[in-house]
Structure 1
Amino acid sequence: MQTIAITGATGLLGRALVKVLEKQHTIIGCGFRRAAPPLVSLDLSDQQAVNAFLDQYAPDVLIHAAAERKPDVCETDHTQTLALNVAASEHLATQCSQRGIRLFFISTDYVFDGTQPPYTEQAHTNPLNFYGQSKQQAEQAVLSSDPSHSVIRVPVLYGDVEYLAESAVTVIAEQLKLNAKSAHDDWAIRFPTHVEDIALTLADLVALPAEKLGGIYHVSDNQAMTKYQMARTIAPLLGLDGEQLIAVPEPTQSAARPHNCALQDTRLHLLGITHQREFGAAIAAVLARHE
């Protein structure tokens, strides 16, 4: 049993990490504004508070899942994005290295431009939007501080949301409820991945000897879908006719999105680590909690 600290433990992925990992490890979950006991309130921009936290709890592993993850928000607030996504990550990486704490940093498929999929862990990064750029900078800072740290790149995520708009996948259900004939992006190809599968993968990686870890890992389901295709899957689950939905063949968001950032999980495959699930059944189970 190890002691594992998790930043962003109040978020969609963070909650899944706590739920899965607490079965075998001692977990110290951290949040900020939404943190309530037993979670620890920690301002990641306060470097002294971060240092004190690491000294007090002395975790064996830290999974850094906290981030500003909405591309359109990142595009309009560079200062806050850099503070959380880059500066806080770099400081955590440095402090963990000094204390012998293994760090797992959660990154994104948006570090790629989407023009030459699938992308291996060694592929050249070329982010199109500021969110991806901030994660690219953070990856470089984390790995530069200690090559034994690990970067975990993930695609668009869904799972047991507290409210439908919490995920870019489940928000589609909210949009359908408001307008059964709504329009949806049919251009960008995504690979929706359940947060529990990310957590199960991290559980397997954490169990490995330290000498087998370090560098970049890709974690992704392999079911390619546009938002329009996701909407077509979700509509009948809500008792709606998917035939009425409108496919939009070009991107519509303010922040540029890559066309196809398929992540090739080469390293996990070699380790025999794979956790995936069929989207239709999985999204049905998620939405059943929000009827």
Structure 2
Amino acid sequence: MQKVMITGATGLLGRTLYKTLKHEFAVVGTGFSRATAPILPLDLADQQAVITFLELHKPTVLIHAAAERKPDVCENSPQQTIALNVAASEFLAKECAKRNIRLLFISTDYVFDGQDAPYYESATPNPLNLYGQTKQQAEQAVLNASPLHTIIRVPVLYGDVTSLNESAVTVIATQLKQDDQTSHDNWAIRYPTHVEDIAFTLRDLLIQPEALGGIFHISDSQAMTKFDMACVMADILGYPSELLTPQGKPTQTAARPYNCALADSRLKPLGIAYSRDFKAAVGDIINGATNK
């Protein structure tokens, strides 16, 4: 049986990876400040601790999901972002290569500038913000470390949350609850994808490891702006739609790409394709978080 190590196993995607993959593989999850059993604490900035952990647990696969993923936070904390997103990723990639451990690196659609969608796996990256730049740099370091390593690019994610603020998607629901009138970006086109569908896809890839290596794109296909998402959530919450205001241009600190649609040329030939209705899925998440 393959042994899968997951970094960032306390995060939105990492928790679902752990929950899904443990049914098929021996899994060890790691986290940092939020790590509680069965997730094990590991500081990725401590290189000796990383080496010791790899030697002790001897994974055959490492899914590296830990990252600073909020673009505005990245812009405001560049050194911290580079240390986690680039330096730690490069070190993990090299140490895994030494031990013939396959590394699956979770990357982002933000490695593209959003001006020429859809983007296939072979498209040339051109990130607009520091978050995308660090992910692109890490991608290159990972691919340079070993042909066994794999890049997994994903778009904006949502799923079962500890709080609605945890996801850039479900945080919209908290805005609807708190304000009378709300404004939402109606410019950038997103493709919200459920973390469970990412986990199912990685599970299927790990079952056929000969397919791994290089770059994969995983994305749902429903194109939505944040305003579109807000309209869906307003309907779920009974929030008056006339109180929603569309914003015609981005207002965040970090530049956002217009449309980074990820096109897949590798998963469908393998018979791997997962998708779900956004309104039904996000409704279940909102109702579940409300009832906690």
Normalising by structure 2, we get a TM-score of: 0.98
CA distance in 1, matches of 2:68, 2:27: 23
- After superposition, what is the alpha-carbon deviation per residue over 1:109-143, rounded to whole angstroms, capped at 9, x for unaligned? 00000000000000010000000000000000000
CA distance in 2, matches of 1:161, 1:213: 29
CA distance in 1, matches of 2:181, 2:194: 27
Alignment check: 8 A CA contact 2:114 2:258 kept: yes
- Secondary structure of 1:289's aligned partner: helix
Q: CA deviation at 1:243?
A: 2.8
Aligned twin of 2:232: 233
CA distance in 2, matches of 1:62, 1:123: 25
Q: Moved runs in structure 1, 4+ residues, more than 6 A?
A: none
CA distance in 1, matches of 2:164, 2:39: 23
- Secondary structure of 2:266's aligned partner: helix
Aligned twin of 2:255: 256
- After superposition, what is the alpha-carbon deviation per residue over 1:181-202, rounded to whole angstroms, capped at 9, x for unaligned? 2000000000000000000000
CA distance in 1, matches of 2:31, 2:67: 11
Aligned twin of 1:106: 106
CA distance in 1, matches of 2:164, 2:241: 19
Q: CA deviation at 1:244?
A: 2.1
Aligned twin of 2:223: 224
- Secondary structure of 2:249's aligned partner: coil
CA distance in 2, matches of 1:179, 1:29: 38
Aligned twin of 2:127: 127
The answer to whether structure 1 residue 69 and structure 2 residue 75 are counterparts is no
CA distance in 1, matches of 2:193, 2:242: 25
Alignment check: 8 A CA contact 1:180 1:245 kept: no
Aligned twin of 2:274: 275
CA distance in 2, matches of 1:192, 1:287: 15
How is 1:78-157 mapped onto 2 (pairs within 5 angstroms)?
A: 78-157=78-157
CA distance in 1, matches of 2:16, 2:253: 30
- Secondary structure of 1:13's aligned partner: helix
- After superposition, what is the alpha-carbon deviation per residue over 1:46-73, rounded to whole angstroms, capped at 9, x for unaligned? 1110000000000011000000000000
Alignment check: 8 A CA contact 2:154 2:218 kept: yes
CA distance in 2, matches of 1:19, 1:188: 32
CA distance in 1, matches of 2:250, 2:38: 42
Aligned twin of 1:187: 187
Identity, % of aligned positions: 61
Q: CA deviation at 1:236?
A: 1.5
Aligned twin of 1:7: 7
Normalising by structure 1, we get a TM-score of: 0.98
Alignment check: 8 A CA contact 2:205 2:211 kept: no
- Secondary structure of 2:44's aligned partner: coil
Relative distance call for 1:174 and 1:222 in structure 2 (3 A) is: same
CA distance in 2, matches of 1:145, 1:26: 25
The answer to whether structure 1 residue 160 and structure 2 residue 160 are counterparts is yes
Alignment check: 8 A CA contact 1:192 1:223 kept: yes
Q: CA deviation at 1:106?
A: 0.1
Q: CA deviation at 1:75?
A: 0.5
